[in-house]
Amino acid sequence: MTDLNPSRMAMVPFVSVHDMMRIVNGDGVAETIAAIADRIEADFLRWEQFDKTPRVAAHSEEGVIELMPTSDGERYGFKYVNGHPANMGRGFQTVTAFGVLARVDNGYPILLSEMTVLTALRTAAASVVAARHLAPKDAKVMAMIGNGAQCEFQALAFHHVLGIEEVRLYDIDPAATSKAARNLAETDLRVVSCKTAEDAITGAQIITTCTADKKQATILTDNMVGTGVHLNAIGGDCPGKTELHRDILLRSDIFVEFPPQTRVEGEIQQLDADHPVTELWRVIAGKAEGRTSTSQITLFDSVGFATEDFSALCHVHEAALRTGFYLDLDMLADPDDPRDLFGMVARADT
Amino acid sequence: MTDLNPSRMAMVPFVSVHDMMRIVNGDGVAETIAAIADRIEADFLRWEQFDKTPRVAAHSEEGVIELMPTSDGERYGFKYVNGHPANMGRGFQTVTAFGVLARVDNGYPILLSEMTVLTALRTAAASVVAARHLAPKDAKVMAMIGNGAQCEFQALAFHHVLGIEEVRLYDIDPAATSKAARNLAETDLRVVSCKTAEDAITGAQIITTCTADKKQATILTDNMVGTGVHLNAIGGDCPGKTELHRDILLRSDIFVEFPPQTRVEGEIQQLDADHPVTELWRVIAGKAEGRTSTSQITLFDSVGFATEDFSALCHVHEAALRTGFYLDLDMLADPDDPRDLFGMVARADT
């Protein structure tokens, strides 16, 4: 007699948006970002174990849908993510994402998770990992240019992990700045809302740019960037979308995640294909130098890479099993006799 | 006040294995395969509208995990599928799969579905689509070499769609043949269990090979294949895995799904890279000839292509909404203000 109840093996734990919020609020937003940052850093340290490939993108007039797979030989992960700049005006999210973690040895998925919230956490986590190695040691003030969906996560992460005490907010839309200031009011960060980008960067040792326009923009011009700062450039992350004036890049030491992807998607798409950049993992592993002087401008040209999503999915997998905040999905067919798929269907009590 | 209930837009319909079986048994297995075959054929007719790319594979010692994306400009679909030959001996499925359908205009997923059962259905559907255009018109007898998970779906599909009256089963493992014969006993197919491959192909106008060994095997030798037959070669579907002796290929007119993928994965990996093959969609569209004589050997060198999964997902999407056999998953974050993702998390009632 065929057992018609799906076995444990057929079940895939699913972390919904609601469960993700339960996990994150239970552990704390800043604490979760810090934990993911530690995982990202540990995974960067074993960078060479990962199967790395540029994301697989399907472009359309309205936007892009991407698959970002990677594997460390033991686990396989991928993220589905879209980017549709016009969505916001139509009442949809610009970016939505979900991801899967699987066992390499048998190919079975072991986690399905929402990743819209998780991507915001992992992006902030990757930023603080880079800043930990590149920012001036005594940085206390961060400018945040662009106060959209990513802004507060960045602010909290830099406060909690790097000891940033003041964030200076600027957005072309004052409503975005108000929203961010309101959300950050309950933290013990000093929040300063600014009317211009120039005002925002005043006294900042770290400048984070995180704007959404899908075009070649110039959020920062060359004369705005003084010596010694660390630039955390988040928003230039797809072909044709940049935030920094090219001259700034020429004065900076540039650090990237995965050069084949960043050359196409990052700020450095403005530079020659052989312009020298340093892979962040090499700095973390002690194979390359990070910040070497107080006058140096360091630039983390962040586009988001599959290994960072992998690190984040591994964190969520552990947190979901620890907290029980997940739902088992009957996602894998599991007939008693693997060759009797037809019999399983035919005899199902439907 | 933020509405904490996930909105309709945040919900993605999920078809579990149980729901898939409810849908398939409700409509009928053969009828479902026939409906998917019609969709595959209709989608082959508009082949040039599809964004086509070879699958993205992550190989390991134990097997492979693949992502198979495609898009017709309006919808985007992808399948996750693993292939782990050693799984069966360890109590796992050799192949498991799931897939997603999304809107291209806003990037939102509109369906998550199990695809282990669905892949079996779509593989049988693709086979009958090819046979409809390539097999001898009066074919009544089919040999089935390999009586594993795919076998009964093929038999039913050829019976229902092409009018095959007799299937002749052979497998190196008699238990597999018994299983298939038992499952097919309730149909009005004439089922003949054979002790050798030679016996199975006696009098068959169509020979379907569907074995699982991950190696260069020779299920059929040259002298076993007479003139006029149609070969439906399913099992040779990844690098290093073939079923037919090379000499058979040299005597056959070969039809394939997507040459860049089939050259690497199909039977024709045994041939020179420029050996002439015909794309199946061109036959369906009247741009190339299919069977032109009764003495011709036609070979459908099937490896499974992303557009076929897309066609199958579109069928399931419609069937799920029609029957209500699905579960809404809270998979997409949907804050009232798209820029206030942080506020959504911070104010969640968790």
- How would you write the pLDDT of chain B (350 residues) with one tens digit per residue? 333 345 677 899 999 999 999 999 999 999 999 999 999 999 999 999 999 877 888 999 999 999 999 999 999 999 999 989 888 788 788 889 999 999 999 999 999 999 999 999 999 999 999 999 999 999 999 999 999 999 999 999 999 999 999 999 999 999 999 999 999 999 999 999 999 999 999 999 999 999 876 677 788 888 888 999 999 999 877 788 888 999 999 999 999 999 998 999 899 999 999 999 999 999 999 999 999 999 999 999 999 999 999 999 999 999 999 999 999 999 998 888 888 999 999 999 76
List the structure tokens of B58.
């992550």
- By Cβ distance, the residue of B25, B96, B342 closest to A152 is B342
- By Cβ distance, the residue of A6, A65, A67 closest to B67 is A67
> Crossing angle for the helix pair B174-184 and B151-162, nearest 10 degrees?
40
SS3 B274: coil
- B47 reaches A (C-beta below 8 A): no
One-letter identity of residue A133: H
- B262 reaches A (C-beta below 8 A): no
Active site residue: B237, B247, B274, B309, which one? B237
CATH 3.40.50.720 segments of chain A: 124-305
Fold entry, domain A8-117+307-339: ornithine cyclodeaminase, domain 1 (3.30.1780)
- A124-305 placed in CATH 3.40.50.720: yes
Residue B146 near residue B219 (C-beta atoms within 8 A): yes
- By Cβ distance, the residue of A29, A147, A343 closest to B183 is A343
Identify the CA nearest to A14 among candidates A116, A103, A117, A109: A109
Contacts with A155 from chain B: Cβ below 8 Å: none
User: Looking at this predicted complex, what is its ipTM?
Assistant: 0.91
- B341 reaches A (C-beta below 8 A): yes
Taking only the tens of pLDDT, chain A with its 350 residues reads: 333 345 677 899 999 999 999 999 999 999 999 999 999 999 999 999 999 877 788 999 999 999 999 999 999 999 999 989 888 788 788 889 999 999 999 999 999 999 999 999 999 999 999 999 999 999 999 999 999 999 999 999 999 999 999 999 999 999 999 999 999 999 999 999 999 999 999 999 999 999 876 677 788 888 888 999 999 999 877 788 888 999 999 999 999 999 998 999 899 999 999 999 999 999 999 999 999 999 999 999 999 999 999 999 999 999 999 999 999 999 998 888 888 999 999 999 76
- B8 reaches A (C-beta below 8 A): no
Fold entry, domain B8-117+307-331: ornithine cyclodeaminase, domain 1 (3.30.1780)
CATH 3.30.1780.10 segments of chain A: 8-117+307-339
- Rounded to whole angstroms, the Cα distance separating A176 from A155 reads 14
- A41 reaches B (C-beta below 8 A): no
Residue A228 near residue A141 (C-beta atoms within 8 A): no
* CB spacing of A88 vs B338 below 8 angstroms: yes
- B270 reaches A (C-beta below 8 A): no
pLDDT, residue A259, reads 94
Q: A–B: how many Cβ contacts below 8 A?
A: 264
List the structure tokens of B194.
């054979």
CATH architecture of the domain with residue range B126-305: 3-Layer(aba) Sandwich (3.40)
Identify the CA nearest to B84 among candidates A7, A109, A101, A104: A104
* CB spacing of A342 vs B183 below 8 angstroms: yes
Angle at A210 between CA A221 and CA A296, to 5 degrees: 50
Which of B29, B104, B172, B336 would best serve as a mutation to test chain A binding (most A beta carbons within 10 A)? B104
Parallel, antiparallel, or unpaired: how do β-strands A216-220 and A206-209 relate? unpaired
- By Cβ distance, the residue of B17, B71, B330 closest to A333 is B17
CATH 3.40.50.720 segments of chain B: 126-305
Active site residue: A19, A43, A72, A237, which one? A237
Q: Is B337 a catalytic residue?
A: no
- B278 reaches A (C-beta below 8 A): no
CATH 3.30.1780.10 segments of chain B: 8-117+307-331
* CB spacing of A108 vs B92 below 8 angstroms: yes
Contacts with B109 from chain A: Cβ below 8 Å: 80, 96, 98
- Rounded to whole angstroms, the Cα distance separating A130 from A255 reads 8
* CB spacing of A338 vs B149 below 8 angstroms: yes
* CB spacing of B51 vs A71 below 8 angstroms: no
- A69 reaches B (C-beta below 8 A): yes
List the structure tokens of A326.
């997940």
Q: What are phi and psi of B136, to 5 degrees?
A: -55, 140
- By Cβ distance, the residue of B21, B98, B341 closest to A120 is B341
- B5 reaches A (C-beta below 8 A): no
